[in-house]
Chain A
Amino acid sequence: MLNDTWDFITGLSAAQLISYFWPFFLFDLTRYVVFDVLILTLYLPRRKRNKQRRAEARKLLFHEKPLVSVIVPGKNEGKHIPRLAESLTRQTYKKLEIVIVDDGSDDDTEIICRKLHRDGKIDQYVRNEVRGGKASAANTALYYSTGKYVIHLDADSELRYDSIETILLPFYMDANIAAVGGDIRVANLSQTMATRTQAIEYFKGISTGRTVSSMLGILRIIAGAYGAFRRDTLDRLGGWDVGPGLDGDITMKIRKLGLKVVHEPHAVCYTNVPTSFRKLARQRFRWDRSMVRFRARKHVDVLMPTSNFRLSNFIATVENLFYNLFLNFKWWFYVAQVIFFYGALLQHIIVVNYVLYTLANLAEFLVATVLLRKTLRKQDLLLFLYLPLMPLYTGLYLRIVRTYAYIMEFIHKASYADRWNPWKVSRVVKKDGL
């Protein structure tokens, strides 16, 4: 059979190659491999050239030594806080203020955090008896924090020793930068197959993908798990709006102010990801719906030629909508096309696609390795063994979840019913169409 497939490939003309595998060659290869490689060949030398500027920024940072507030909003996260507080004491940048906001926890969080507060391990612990959702908890933390910079951190994450210093440097290199995204890596990558595939996905999507977007000035998300913001900007915006997807939302709002947002691939944050495909599906269902809710609804105005129009914002949204939304539905069209028109060649087309996408993944992985080489660990590198699984993961699993999420959000506005927010909040924002 493989011989047949080989014959099939070698017998293909260029036109046939495109018509059978157009999604790969026209979109995925160009956007995710060719584009990434091109941009990074520009980025890496530039980063090297910027070494001197970075050193100066570092000098400025340590000369000014601004207070940096690390805010950690969450519900029932108490068990993670002692480790997090401990890891923050090992940071190279020391002038930190740790503010924990407990969003109506019903476990031992209060006992744990009150003790940490008494012992001076955290600077502020605010307990909200009634859950208000992530945005209100983050805003409470913002209200009670006093630092010049605000770092939003998930409770179950851990930072590399130099991470805070690294994430602050861009602020000292460009006064227009208002927010810096940290590089999220998977902490529990060796746990299950689901965590391994996510780890690879994070390398591609976050480390490489966001570095490239950042280079192009079209970065559209600063991860909620680890992002640094200028306080004056957050104050101007009144903090976070109601989610889910509040991290993408606030990034867009900062962009709309005409300020820059960048990604810092060397500011590493390890976070725990869902350990089963079932849990992962739930998480992605939430994330994907918020894409529709925020890009296609709330911030659709960036596509309009208003006085506030900015090309970079336009491109950021169009690129997002095109590659995620449009191409996602395109993929089903391609599946239908293959089945109805090339039914006889089905098995060859599947095998070839599988090989092409595996190779693309390998290329993307190599790019990430080059980009992140300094901060990679041995177990990160061993992930290349799992690359052949990625076409199934991104091509099938994530696509199905995403399609379902988009449809549910477009038709039912399902994100408003998400239990991630309390109903009292969802009810109001749905009524007001926010």
Chain B
Amino acid sequence: MSEGVLITGDQNPLHLPAKKATDDTQWRSLDVGAEADYFLLEVGSESEAYRIIGLVRQKLLPAVYLKPLILINRGGDVSKSLQDQVDFVISSQQLEQQLPAKLLDEVESINRRIDALQEQRLKADTNIALRVVRYLYSRDREVEPVASIQNRGGYTFTGIESLFGGHDQSIWQTLDFLNSQHLVQTRFVTRTHQCASCGCAFLNFKETCPQCESEELDADDLIHHFRCGYTAELSDFRQDDRLVCPKCDQTLRHIGVDYDKPSMMYHCRSCDHRFQEPEIVTTCFDCHRTAPPENQIHRNIEAYKLSMLGVNAALYGLDSLFASILERRLQLLPLDVFERFIAVEKARIGRYKVSHSSLLLLDIKGLEEIYLTLGERTSEVYEELANLFYAMLRSSDLISSRNESMFLMLLTETSPDDAKIVEGRLSSGVGELLKASLGASPEIISQIVNVDNALDLTEYLESFLSEHHAE
């Protein structure tokens, strides 16, 4: 039986004695509810709801900020934006009976994913990118852009908005960063024009005179009277509320039958110029900069969903740039998939007893700090490292990573002795490359394990980590 924590706002709290309740004050001071299954939100207004959702989503522990949120609707409509920010909306009647089984299933599925973070779920997350990655992982869905006049970019991502403290620009920056690291996959949704100088999507598109740039234009349709061939602007035909041909005095009856409008003409009130193709300019509502549309930014608006690398990052921390380069170059596998391959390989070797495969572990100490030394050149060094890995491994080998600097390689049909050769070459190659770039050799720890029935990858990694990363 799942159990939730009820959070009430200031006004009209619902009394639900069956639930463990906490009020706003308690909630602010304590990380209560880390062990609860969900939070029930019972508030008097939408603004109250946003405030409390913000409080939850900005908590530090994944076990708290990722928690499923269920909003109790006490009647009336719940805005789409609010619906997007909570996981479920239920009516107070539903709450008095029993929560629907389907909802509980979904709550459980979110919680299963939170549990997969293991001990990390109770360690504070301060990195906003990692928090987004973990949120996307726990919800296992795409976050979609929603058009919004509140957001100067014209779009917001209501699904993850509450993770950010209302700084909408940082949502874009974070998603751009995740995309650049290949932690998310994108799907094209639409395109916007944004101000090239301030990024604001609210641009005023205006027609102007190509001769004097004035915006004070009149536009008039040209009328062609079929009967007599007379052609002039609409205003010449106007007589009271009728259209009368100035040439033959006939009243125009139906467009398409006795007359049509073959084109339109603009007239500049400022310089008297007549033209058919006005210049289009855009002015930013925010910074007031004016530019032709082609000089503004055309931005693709996309929906985001975690990539395999993103899933790995959610489970084991944010992968480094290196990992993303490796993923691209070597098809770095998520660790759980790698574990599955190890299990298959173990079973295959155990059954046929004819071949050997080896697991090679390479731990490059301090690799994550390389950025501090090399700055923007880091990616070049990573590319070189990736090339080195690529050159040493065969297409039948598999590679995964445990964190930014620890790499696991399954060398199929390779005895531990042969694996030693690969290990030697890889260690010295990596060592030399990093020495040449950083000026000092990093500490490289490598181990080779025979893949057989005795190997338990999780256990092995834990013992390795406790031995070498005790601090």
Contact = CB atoms under 8 A, between A and B. Distances in A.
Given A126-B265, A424-B260, A238 B230 contact: yes
B232 interface: yes
A124 B246 contact: no
B229 A241 contact: yes
A136 B231 contact: yes
B227 interface: yes
Nearest to B230: A238
B256 A424 contact: yes
Give the residue among B226, B246, B247 with the most A Cβ atoms within 10 A: B226
A239 B274 contact: no
B175 to A, nearest CB: 41
Interface string B252-267: 0000111011110100
B173 interface: no
A130 interface: yes
A399 to B, nearest CB: 32
Contacts of A238: 228, 230, 246-248
Given A126-B263, A238-B248, A139 B227 contact: no
A124 B274 contact: yes
B197 interface: no
A415 to B, nearest CB: 15
Interface stretch (A288-296, A369-377, A426-434): A426-434
A104 interface: yes
A224 interface: no
B263 A242 contact: no
A129 B233 CA distance: 15
Contact of A143 (B227, B231, B261, B277): B231
A130 B226 CA distance: 12
A425 interface: yes
B276 A126 contact: yes
A144 B260 CA distance: 18
Given A128-B262, A132-B262, A425 B274 contact: no
B231 A432 contact: no
A55 to B, nearest CB: 38
Given A114-B277, A136-B224, A239 B229 contact: yes
Interface in B183-232: 222, 224, 226-232
Contacts of A139: 224, 229-232
B272 to A, nearest CB: 11
Nearest to B232: A143
Contacts of B232: 139, 143
Given A104-B262, A129-B263, A425-B226, A140 B231 contact: yes
A132 B260 contact: yes
B274 A240 contact: no
Interface string A147-162: 0000000000000000
Contacts of B229: 132-133, 135-136, 138-139, 239-242, 246, 425
Contact of B227 (A127, A144, A428): A428
B274 to A, nearest CB: 7
Contacts of A126: 222, 263, 265, 276
B226 A424 contact: yes
B260 A127 contact: no
Contact of A429 (B222, B226, B233, B257): B226
Nearest to B276: A127
A137 B263 CA distance: 11
Nearest to A124: B274
A355 B139 CA distance: 102
Contacts of A114: 277
Contacts of A124: 274
Nearest to B256: A424
Interface string A387-399: 0000000000000
B276 A434 contact: no
Main secondary structure of the interface of B (DSSP, over half): loop
Interface residues of A, number: 33
Interface residues of B, number: 24
Interface in A395-434: 424-425, 427-429, 432, 434
Interface string A118-130: 0000001111111
Nearest to A103: B262
Interface string B225-250: 01111111100000000000011100
B228 A241 contact: yes
Contact of A140 (B222, B246, B257, B260): B222
Contacts of B227: 242, 428-429, 432, 434
A369 B231 CA distance: 42
A428 B227 CA distance: 6
A424 to B, nearest CB: 6
Interface string A331-359: 00000000000000000000000000000
B251 to A, nearest CB: 14
Nearest to B248: A238
A34 B18 CA distance: 124
Interface in A27-76: none
Nearest to B277: A114
A426 to B, nearest CB: 9
Give the residue among A132, A137, A428 with the most B Cβ atoms within 10 A: A132
Contacts of A428: 226-227, 257-258
Nearest to A131: B262
Contacts of A432: 227
Nearest to A429: B227
A135 B257 CA distance: 18
A132 B231 contact: yes
A129 B258 CA distance: 17
A421 to B, nearest CB: 9
Contacts of A424: 226, 256, 260
A130 B262 contact: yes
B210 to A, nearest CB: 9
Contacts of B222: 126, 128, 140
A254 to B, nearest CB: 15
B271 to A, nearest CB: 15
Given A127-B276, A239-B229, A136 B262 contact: yes
A432 B229 CA distance: 13
A246 B246 CA distance: 19
Nearest to A238: B247
Contacts of B228: 238, 241-242, 434
Given A144-B274, A424-B226, A239 B262 contact: no
A124 B247 CA distance: 24
B211 to A, nearest CB: 11
B246 to A, nearest CB: 7
Nearest to A242: B229
Contacts of A429: 226-227
A351 to B, nearest CB: 49
**In the complex, the 5 A-B pairs of residues with the closest C-beta atoms, listed nearest first:** A238-B247, A135-B229, A128-B262, A139-B231, A428-B226
6 contacts: A126-B263, A127-B276, A128-B263, A139-B231, A238-B246, A427-B226
Interface of A: 104, 114, 124-133, 135-140, 143-144, 238-242, 246, 424-425, 427-429, 432, 434
Given A126-B276, A130-B260, A238-B228, 9 more contacts: A128-B222, A130-B263, A131-B262, A132-B226, A143-B233, A144-B265, A238-B246, A424-B260, A429-B226
